[in-house]
Structure 1
Amino acid sequence: MDLQDLLEDLAQRLGRGLFVDSTDGRMLGYSKQDAHADPARVASVMSRRVAPEIREWQNRYGISKATEVVRLPPNAELGIRARFCVPIRRDGRCLGYLWASADGKALDETALGALQGAAAELARVLAGRGDEREDLIRWLLDPDRTGEGALRKSARRPFAIGIGDPVPFEVRAVREAYGQARAAAGVAALDPALPRVLPWSGAGPYRMLLPVAPGPDPVLVPLENDEELVRTLETYLDAGCDVQRTAASLHLHRTTVYYRLDRIATTLGADLRDGLVRSHLHLALKARRLSGWPSNGHSS
C-alpha cells in the first residue's frame, strides 16, 4: 500500500482528516476528504509546504524528539485547530510527521493504535523511497554495469548526480524537482569541494546563486526568533570568522562568542568550520537584510 492509499484508508476508518509532512516542512500527502480542515492546513496543501512560522510553533512542543502521540492545542493567530502529531520514526531518525485533526475528540485506544500503526507503515514507505534512491545511485556509479561499464572510467568530463527534493507526483512539483536535480548535478560537476552525488538540499550557497527554487532560502529559519544569535552569526562572518574581532565588535567576552556559535551550530545542524556552509549562511544573512525580514528590522 502506498502513502496516499494508506492515508485515505486510515482517514475513512478514523473519521478524521490526515496529512503527512517532512521534517523540513514539505507536504508529502493528505487525505482528500476533510470537512474540518483548518486554514493553516488548506494553505499548506495549496503551497505544498508548511509555513516557517507554523513549523516553529509546532517544534515548541518537542515533536522532533517525541516517540509517542503529541496533542497540539489550537492557535487562532496561525489558523490552526487542535491536532494530534505522530512522529514517523525509523532506526532512530524522524522522517516526518503524521497529523490528525482533533475536532474536539480524544483518541481512544483503537484510534491511537491505528495512528501508531500507520506511522510505522509510513516509516517503511518513506525509508523505502530512500533505499530506492540509493540503489539507483549505486547502479549508475557501478563501473562493471553491463553495456555501460566504462561510464565513469572513460568519462572525459566530471561526472555527478544531482537529486531534487522529494515531491508529490504532480507536474509542477516534478518539474521543480527536476530543475533542482539538474542544478545540483551541474554544480557538483564544477566544484570539487562538493560531493559527486549531491542532493539539492546540500548545495549550500549555490541554492541562492541559482534561480531554481522560488522564495527565500530556509537555512536561517531555525534562528528567526533569536535576534541575538542572528546578530552574532552575521558579525562573526563579517569579521572573517575571527572570534576576537567578533567579541570586540559585540562587546562580549570571547567565551560568550564561542558559546553562542556552538548554539548556532547546534540549532542549524551546521558545521561552521565548513567554508561552503559559512558562504551559504553569509549569503542568506545578506539576502535577509535586503528582504527586510523580520519586519522589526535588523541592526548591527
Structure 2
Amino acid sequence: MRDDLQELVDDVSRMLRAPATLEDRDFTLLAFCAHDDDRTTTMDAVRTRSILGRSSTPAVRAWFESHGIAGATAPVRVPADPAAGILTRLCLPVRADGELHGYLWLLDEGRTDLTDPAAPGLAAAVAVAASAGRLLAAGRPGTADLSAALREVLTGPAPRAARALGTALGTEAPVTLVALLVPAPGVPAGWAPPAAGAVPAELADGAEVAVLLPLRTGGDTRPAGALAAAALTGLPPGSTAGVAAARRGCGDLPAQWHEARTAARVAAVDPRLAPAASWSELGAWRQVAALDGPDPALRRLLADPVLTATAEVWLDCAGSPQRAAAQLCIHRQTLYYRLGRIEELTGLDLAEGADRLLLHLGVRAARLTPFVRRGNDLDYQQ
C-alpha cells in the first residue's frame, strides 16, 4: 500500500507542478514528494517538520483545521501566515464513501485557481485524492512500528526489523538516512556523538536524530539534502545534518547511518560543507573520520592553536608559501619560522611526503575528536 500511496503523491506533484505531502486524518505523514525545483520558496517550517518528524504539532493541526479542512469535500485554499513562516498551500480532502481519511497537501504557491473547474490538473488531482481515500479506507498504514524497527536496526543486529522496514518501503526501493546532530548546551561545535543506543531526548537538550527517507527512482539524494538543510533553520545554532549515500532496500542501514553521522560531524567543522553535507562530497574527510584521533606525536603541536592552524592552511595550500602566507595574512618569513617550530614540536621533516601526510591527517582528525557530553541520546524517525 505504501508504494501505491507514494505513486499517487508523485502523480499529483507532477500534475500541479508542486511539492506534495499525504497525511492521514491525524496528521501523520504517509508519503511525500520533493519537487524537482531546488528553490527554498517551496519549503516552509510546517512541511519540514511533517517530513522529518512524521507528524505535525497540535498547534499546527488546530490552525489548519480552523480553515475548515476537516469538513471539506472539495479543495480548500489555506492562506499563508508569514508571521508563523507558513506558505500558502492547497488542501485536497482524502475521502472514501464520504468518510475523511486524510489530506493531500500541495505547496503550489497559489497558482491553482479553485474557482475554475477547468484549471490545469485540478480535476485529475481531485481524482488522485479519491484514489488515496480508497486505499486508506482499506487499511491505514502506521509509522510508529517503523520508527521502533529503525531503532533496532541501528542499535544492533536486527534482521527481523530490517525485513519489516524493507517490506514497508519496498525491498528494492531507494532510501537514504539523514542524521541531525544537535549539540547540548555548552558543547562546542564539532562534537562527535557517542555510539547509538539510548533513550530519546528533546532536541533542545542535545540529540542525534536518524531519519529514514524514501527516494525517487534512481536514488537522487538532493531532495533529502534540501529537507535536511531546511530542518536546521528551526534548530539551535551549531546543529548540522548529514545525508548518506542511497541504497536499494533497507539491508545496509547501519552503514548508511555511519555515513550520515560522519557527514554531519564534518559539516560542523568544515565551513565549506556546512550546515548540511552529503557522504558523496566528503572527499578526504572520509579517511580522517575513520581515524581514532590524531597521532600522539602531534600532541605538543595541537596544544598551540596558532601553529596548528598554520600547519593546516599550509598543507591545504599544497605547501605553497605564497598562498599560505596570503591566506594567513602573515609575512612569508613568519610562515617559515612557524614551519620550523612545527618541525621542532613534532619531530617531523616537512620535506618528506609521509610526514606531511601524517601531519595533515592529524590536524584534521583533531577537529573531529569527540567532545565529552552527558547522555547518549538518539531519536529515530521514519
TM-score tier after normalising by the smaller chain length: 0.3 to 0.5
**TM-score, length basis structure 1:** 0.44
Higher relative contact order (CA 8 A, sep 6+): 2
